[in-house]
């Protein structure tokens, strides 16, 4: 049997896919009664052996991807041809092409399902892609079609080694949740304990290898046509994340580590893992009740303040980033539940689910990231530039304050207040000289840990916005936890006790200054909220007084002259 190198295999698969698409397209044009290539039901029917079905499925999935990206490349190339780069017409046309291309990719993800849906969700969470893509691809967050239970049952029996009736008192065949790579079923163990069972769809590992190879090929093709548009870093990050997510044993370990990290936090709940019923493809957990974190109607009915939920959520993820250095990489609404059951005063708990995608931050990176947030809040331009060099982004470090706080590096605006009109005008002029190539270079230069944080932070921002929490809530929490993540450290090499004491004193003084700065900002925030509340009460009092006076006047009899 001939063995091909990995690259040769990838090329062969892609050539086969493209050829297959062409053949299917031509055959369909000559035979209108034959189903279109977007409908795989006939080709994937059970009359074909599994290997043939898998091969045909691979051809069609790759063909759709190649065709979609080819159409997008042609659209960009010809729609923008001849337009001056800095003209209003160019920007308007570019936005229209973004919309058309994003809609094509959305259709591709909906047709190919699986990893393509996951990839679309991944892109939608990146704040570094055009807003048109984020807006259109965000609809993929809630799109997942459950797998036939017959196939799911085969996976369960194959992994657990026994019939379901031997393990469970009852098993609900209708899934309570479905995602792009797995679905979750509710069941009762023989001892009466309620569990949630996450079951991986069959045949995913082979499909993942082909899909990520196709995505890599396409990203390189786009970069060849448009050198400024380089997205290989995104494909690489996605492939690394999805590989981790397919191993449910690793997910169970991540879950237990997170539970340990937050063992003293009464707001955070992590489902208990049943190891005896857990494998690489099956994960059995304690069943936890709750509603999606952005379910405003539920929060209102339960009397839970959405802003308090947002603050608690940001505190949890800030602790992951700045203290533990172990970050949940996919905090979308479906992975975080709010439950009214809580031990503390908060009146609610946050249930953290889906621990497949985690990033262990490098310790040096974690400390530098803490320093970066301190510098960004204090707008210490020299420190920001130094840390930018440490992260490998050089001149682009001046945009860190803009990315994280919405202020420029020279801003005079208060934290969380955005920019003045003058600053906006100056920034607009500066950004005119930035090209897509600059954004690509910036993203390629960032450490992988940084990219993961940016994605998670983008999802958190979106959640905070849905929960009507002002940006200042997130900024103050991040600032405080960055401070907590930088404990004063003495130099054991020092020869003189006096130097050690002085060093400790200066370090503590520096942190005291930073702490007072943050506390002052919180006091200002509290005063602003109090003033708004007072103004609201005053308006209500004036309206009530006006109505009372009108009623008094109307109660007197009319006197005729």
Residues tagged active-site: 330
Specify the 3-state DSSP secondary structure of 361. coil
DSSP state of 336: E
- Contact assessment for residue 211 and residue 63, using Cβ atoms and an 8 Å cutoff: no
State how beta strands 349-352 and 268-269 pair.
Answer: parallel
Q: How many residues comprise the chain?
A: 561
- The number of C-alpha atoms within 13 Å of 129 and in the hemisphere containing its C-beta is 25
Which is nearest to 370 in space by CA: 511, 257, 268? 511
3-state secondary structure labels for all residues of 74-103: HHHHHHCCCCCCCCHHHHHHHHHHHHHHHH
* CA angle (198, 254, 202) in 5-degree steps: 30
Rounded Cα–Cα distance for residues 72 and 66 (Å): 10
Give the closest residue to 451 by CA, choosing from 331, 359, 317.
359
What DSSP string describes 490-535? --TT-S-HHHHHHHHHHHHHHHHHHHHHHHHHHHHHHHHHHHHHHH
Which residue has tokens 């949740």? 177
Q: What 3-state class would DSSP assign to 240? A: helix
**Class of residue 8 by CB neighbours under 10 A (exposed 0-12, middle 13-18, buried 19+):** exposed
């Amino acid at each position: 049997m001939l063995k091909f190198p990995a690259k040769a295999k990838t090329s062969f698969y892609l050539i086969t896919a493209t050829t297959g698409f062409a053949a299917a397209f031509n055959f369909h044009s000559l035979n209108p009664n034959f189903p279109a290539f977007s409908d795989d039901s006939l080709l994937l029917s059970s009359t074909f052996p599994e290997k043939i079905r898998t091969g045909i499925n691979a051809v069609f999935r790759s063909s759709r991807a190649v065709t979609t990206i080819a159409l997008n490349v042609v659209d960009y190339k010809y729609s923008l041809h001849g337009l001056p780069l800095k003209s209003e017409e160019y920007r308007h046309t570019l936005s229209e092409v973004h919309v058309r291309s994003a809609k094509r990719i959305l259709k591709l993800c909906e047709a190919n399902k699986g990893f393509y849906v996951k990839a679309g969700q991944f892109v939608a969470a990146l704040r570094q892609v055009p807003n048109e893509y984020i807006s259109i691809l965000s609809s993929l967050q809630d799109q997942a079609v459950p797998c036939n239970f017959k196939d799911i049952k085969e996976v369960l029996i194959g992994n657990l080694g026994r019939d379901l009736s031997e393990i469970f008192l009852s098993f609900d065949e209708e899934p309570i949740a479905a995602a792009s790579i797995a679905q979750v079923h509710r069941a009762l163990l023989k001892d009466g304990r309620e569990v949630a069972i996450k079951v991986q769809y069959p045949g995913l590992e082979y499909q993942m290898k082909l899909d990520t190879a196709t995505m890599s090929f396409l990203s390189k093709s786009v970069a060849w046509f448009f050198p400024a548009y380089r997205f290989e870093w995104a494909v690489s990050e996605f492939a690394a994340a999805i590989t981790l997510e397919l191993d449910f044993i690793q997910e169970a370990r991540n879950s237990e580590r997170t539970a340990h990290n937050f063992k003293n936090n009464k707001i955070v709940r992590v489902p208990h893992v049943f190891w005896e019923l857990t494998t690489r493809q099956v994960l059995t957990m304690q069943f936890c009740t709750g509603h999606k974190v952005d379910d405003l109607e539920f929060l209102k009915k339960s009397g839970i303040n959405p802003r308090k939920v947002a603050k608690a959520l940001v505190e949890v993820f800030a602790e992951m980033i700045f203290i533990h250095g172990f970050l949940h990489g996919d905090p979308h609404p479906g992975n975080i539940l709010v439950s009214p059951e809580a031990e503390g005063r908060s009146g609610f708990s946050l249930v953290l689910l889906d621990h497949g995608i985690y990033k262990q931050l490098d310790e040096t990176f974690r400390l530098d990231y803490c320093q970066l947030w301190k510098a960004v809040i204090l707008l210490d331009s020299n420190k920001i530039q130094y840390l930018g060099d440490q992260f490998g982004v050089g001149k682009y470090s001046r945009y860190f304050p803009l990315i994280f706080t919405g202020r420029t590096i020279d801003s005079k605006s208060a934290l969380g207040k955005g920019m003045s009109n003058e600053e906006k005008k100056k920034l607009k002029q500066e950004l005119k000289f930035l090209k897509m190539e600059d954004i690509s270079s910036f993203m390629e230069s960032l450490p992988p840990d940084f990219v993961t944080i940016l994605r998670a932070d983008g999802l958190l921002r979106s959640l905070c916005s849905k929960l009507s929490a002002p940006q200042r809530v997130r900024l103050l929490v991040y600032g405080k936890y960055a401070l907590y993540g930088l404990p004063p450290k003495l130099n054991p090499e020092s020869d003189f006790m006096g130097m050690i004491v002085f060093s400790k004193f200066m370090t503590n003084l520096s942190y005291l200054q930073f702490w007072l700065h943050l506390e002052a900002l919180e006091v200002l925030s509290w005063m602003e909220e109090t003033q708004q509340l007072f103004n609201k009460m005053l308006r209500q009092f004036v309206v009530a007084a006006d109505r009372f006076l009108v009623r008094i006047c109307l109660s007197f009899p009319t006197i005729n002259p």
